A and B are shown apart, each in its own frame.
Chain A
Amino acid sequence: QVQLRESGPGLVKPSETLSLTCSISGDSFNRHYWSWIRQPAGKGLEWIGRSHTSGDTHYNPSLKSRVTMSVDTSKNQFSLTLTSVTAADTAVYYCARDSQSATIWYFDLWGRGTLVLVSS
């Protein structure tokens, strides 16, 4: 059974860097793209970006200047780095598998999410 698990510090100070890791088990890590999606409390979903073991990445233009994603194939992990955080970055962060049918990409598997609070 495929499982995704997010990990990282739950508290980050303003202006500092948020770093999260998603560990994947039970799946062929190299076959998929892996995305980060976040959700502020009581609000909707915001796609942050996605990465692949090939090095191919796509970022949300609204966050692109602050976001870096990478993959570690030796550990079956992919990571998110978000710099210069503010309170607006407080959210539950999800990692998700990005799969494709013949026509459409969709997020067919999600981690449970990890809450990140930006506060001094």
Chain B
Amino acid sequence: EIVLTQSPATLSLSPGERATLSCRASQNVYKLLAWYQQKPGQAPRLLIYDASTRVTGLPARFSGSGSGTDFTLTISSLEPEDSAIYYCQQRHIWPPVTFGGGTKVEIK
């Protein structure tokens, strides 16, 4: 089973700042990685797949990068509505599909 480790666990930043979220895989997943955003009381929402492909309508401030074992989700300029937990998910070797433990982004 591929383990995804996300860091940091919590990120506390001010509006307008840059957020850098990390996801590390226990083995090579090539670019078969997706990112999701989950706000309190809501279902997760797909943001990015294929490590860097943004879903239609996603604000340009969100970007994904990386391949192999190291991936990054970047929010270039935080908005208050970006407060959420962000999860990475791999789809290279499955079952099982696995998710990272999440990074909570707090807006000061």
Binding site for B on A (CB under 8 A): 35, 44-47, 49, 58-62, 94, 96, 101, 103-108, 110-113
Contacts and interface: CB of A to CB of B under 8 A. Distances in A.
A89 B91 CA distance: 24
B contacts with A: majority SS = loop
B44 A45 contact: yes
B57 interface: no
A107 B46 CA distance: 7
B103 to A, nearest CB: 11
Contacts of A45: 36, 44, 87, 89, 99
Contact of B43 (A46, A60, A104, A112): A112
B96 A47 contact: yes
Contacts of A113: 43
B91 A49 contact: no
Contact of A59 (B34, B36, B49, B95): B95
Nearest to B42: A112
Nearest to A59: B95
Given A58-B95, A103-B31, A44 B101 contact: yes
A58 B97 CA distance: 10
Given A94-B43, A101-B49, A106 B95 contact: no
B32 A103 contact: yes
A63 to B, nearest CB: 9
20 contacts: A44-B87, A44-B99, A58-B94, A60-B97, A61-B95, A94-B43, A94-B44, A96-B43, A101-B53, A103-B31, A103-B32, A103-B50, A104-B34, A104-B91, A106-B34, A106-B91, A107-B46, A107-B89, A111-B43, A113-B43
B91 A108 contact: no
B96 A110 contact: no
A52 B96 CA distance: 17
